Structure 1
Amino acid sequence: MNLDRFDRELLNLVQEDVGRTAEQLAAQVALSPSAIQRRLRRLREQGVIERETAIVDPKHVGRPTFFIVGLQVERERPELLAQLRRWLAAQPQVQQAFYVTGEADFVLVITAPDTESYDALMARMVAENPNVSRFTTNVALSVVKRGLAIPVPSSEAD
């Protein structure tokens, strides 16, 4: 899809705060509110905007702990990787899962209310996915930055 300057500005703005009204966005992008709505609808329909979500402050929901996990598998056969991917995608505690290069095969970001809950999840993962050979865990002591925004350059040349 070819994104023009207005699309790129809109994408950056809605990633900062999707709750802005079309009127508020129009004031910043120099388009009419109806043009803003049409562009956002097109960006959603074409899959540029995959979904919209709220970012919840962990302090207000029981201060969950974040775990960063390096996961290794025994064999990288496509059907075994597909099974593990489906399992990870189905777990609400798994916030992010990346298939990566390097020592680990996957890097996961997991949230849990405490280490006991995390341990139970990982025990279930190993039991239900025999291809998992080992994992390492880092516990986040504090969150410096948390987000999913993709910086969209103002033009294709940037």
Structure 2
Amino acid sequence: MDKFDRQILNAIQHDTRLTSEKLSQLVGLSQDACRKRLLKLREEGVIEQEIAVLSPEKVGRDLLMIVGVTMAVETTHEVDVFKARMHDAPEVMQCYYVTGESDFIIVLSVPDMPNYESFVREHFLSGVGVASFRTNVVMDRVKVGFALPVLD
């Protein structure tokens, strides 16, 4: 990966709709070179996916929660089962298997508190190996994004 690839990555992380023309102006390569580099970065898995960031309020998902989950027993099987459950739960926006006080940190979105209670009952209280969980309710989205600084 050279400086042009890094410039392309920095640019498209903030706007995936940039045209090859605009990218070429930003990084100083031809449109065709930018298009080919972008295709290669996608094929190599450097770019995992391109997403739209939605406004939770405008789509009726007014509550964002950040939940720390501690497993009762941290066996490979229990961890894998929990990972699969979180992966398949539509409310879960992000799930991280972590070190520290919690075993998992989960970011999830629900329309309201009754829906969160249903989520908790189904995913944390129904004998799925969760010892405890601690919920933080997001009051304000100060910064949202997935942009990684790609430095020269």
TM-score after normalising by structure 2: 0.95
CA distance in 1, matches of 2:83, 2:47: 22
The aligned counterpart of 2:68 is: 70
5 Å-filtered alignment, 1:1-158, equals 3-62=1-60, 64-128=62-126, 130-154=128-152
Structure 1: unaligned runs, 5 residues or longer: none
Following TM superposition, by how much is the alpha carbon of 1:80 offset from its aligned partner in structure 2, in angstroms? 1.0
Write out the 4+ residue segments of structure 1 that deviate beyond 4 Å after TM superposition: none
Q: How far is 1:60 from its partner?
A: 2.1
Give the counterpart letter for 2:87 in structure 1: A
- 1-structure distance, mates of 2:127, 2:79: 10
Q: Which amino acid aligns with 2:135?
A: T
Contact 1:84/1:129 (8 A) holds in 2:
no
Ranges in structure 2 where 5+ consecutive residues have no aligned partner = none
Question: What secondary structure does 2:114 align onto?
Answer: helix
Query: Counterparts of 1:151 and 1:109 in 2: how far apart (Å)?
Result: 22
Whole-Å separation in 1 of the counterparts to 2:57 and 2:78: 37
1:128 is displaced (CA, Å) by 5.0
Q: What whole-Å deviation, never above 9, does each CA across 1:89-133 have from its counterpart, x for those lacking one?
A: 111211111111111111111111111111111110025552111
Distance 1:137 1:59 in 2: 20
Matched-pair identity in %: 39
Alignment check: 8 A CA contact 1:72 1:106 kept: yes
CA distance in 1, matches of 2:133, 2:107: 13
Residue type at the aligned position of 1:52: E
How many pairs does the alignment contain? 152
Q: Secondary structure at the match of 1:26?
A: helix
